[in-house]
Structure 1
């Protein structure tokens, strides 16, 4: 009876613009999910006829696992697809396991990875043909604490569905730091190149891996890891002005020469048009190196040198997973004062054990 009543409500309530869906393991029986992923032709989409969710602008889908922040007791629901509403402006997925994405475009228009891709040769296929009658409207796409098949995860950004995407947040992804899926290596060095050509309007990018999860803090602290090959080619995302990334995805942050690696980023990796830059999951050892360089006789301001290479960047944030010592904070305040004189605001955020962020006053 409840299912029949819900069916009637969803069929008649065609003006719905926002919906939040709690995903369950028995996903195939979900009426909401079935209606969301129901395939509609280009003619139906272009017509003015009403149908369930035809005006949907914001979709949020999450699992109970996400709310509990428990990664061992209750596994996340497993999906063979995640519905993509045709006219949605924002789509947020939390705590889900996905194997592929459904789009409101014909199946044969979707790209399938070639053999060259499987062996990590930097070759990409981009879908540029717009389906007649279909105008992509998605501006914001978020995945938080999600697991995904490597192939589909990357392929989906090549779909015309993401042509107008401006904000992409891929946080706490359940992907290995060196491998993504069944031993297949991710071509991190071309990560930015792919995003630069797929969603051409991308302005804001946030990326972090699952080692940033509160439940994995013991792992991050006791057995810290960085990417073997840092994420590259972000400077090919031509319109990008906001970037937030784990420091371990950009440099080998535990290495002795980590500061020198950081200073190479404006030349080798980062877009010159950046206005806001945030490095997350910063280990205290790296901060101590920055402070040691500043307090040494030569008084080297590593963060100041970094900002010199990013002339349009006026906001720089450092997020760490453990509170620095008072001495480190005081030294960072002095660094912040120097940066402020050159028009840059430095902020320090500390991630608590419960995952919440303690945002300190700007270090000026």
Structure 2
């Protein structure tokens, strides 16, 4: 009997030591897990901050690039407009020069025509005078004929001079018309070029504005994506934190249940050592009442796994749960929900207790 008690005490002491070791290991593992989780959360927060900072830098760079491109486009458009205006002014100046040249050429042509007409008239007069002298020398009889010839010559000279003047005037008028037509064409070309320059300027401004809008849209889209990524990372961090808190709660609950089981085993060990294995010493009724009270409380507080272990311990220690023999601890009204009565241990099949 004493040997059985000693063996039982040794087993209880070993079980208590093992439970203490398990508790220390579980506490150390929990502390390490909490440290690792805290470190991971810090790293995730740092990564999220770096990502947000990078997103802000990228957005600022995009805005700077867009503003720089817009300035370049406006400067190029202004330079093109100035060049077009200079070209138009140069073409207008060339048109004016061409008109002046045409007028000068027309005047020179008219002067030449007048000079030719005067020269022809002079020559005709000289010829007529020469003929007159010849006629006078040939015969006075032919004076009438000479006079008539002279009159004819004068008339012809006048007609020739009139024709030359008409031709010169017509040529001058045509030259002036051509010069005026060229001037109108040059003015139309200049106006068309100015219009084209204005259209090019408008197109450049429109393209610049469109480019700026596209850059702003791209920057806004990048900012939205960065915000979505940051929000997604924040949600992930919250989920991880929630999961860590849940695990921490589970660990705390498990430790609490482990503490309940440890306290119960400690209490039962001390009670058995004090009142005997069958709790049949002098004050056995009070001992059994206290043991039953503590056992019922333990079954209410433990989870199914620890309930099963507790029931196995009571069953194998012949303290409760057996149909044959005297039950030391009455388990009637105990919370036995979730206990696996069919779990084998050392090839022993547990029999569900009957408390009727």
What is the TM-score of this pair, normalised by structure 1? 0.20
> Quick check: which has more Rg, 1 or 2?
2
When you count strand as a share of all residues, which structure comes out higher? Answer: 1
Taking CA–CA contacts closer than 8 Å with sequence separation of 6 or more, which of the two structures ends up with the larger relative contact order? 2
Judging by fraction of residues, say which structure has more helix.
Answer: 2
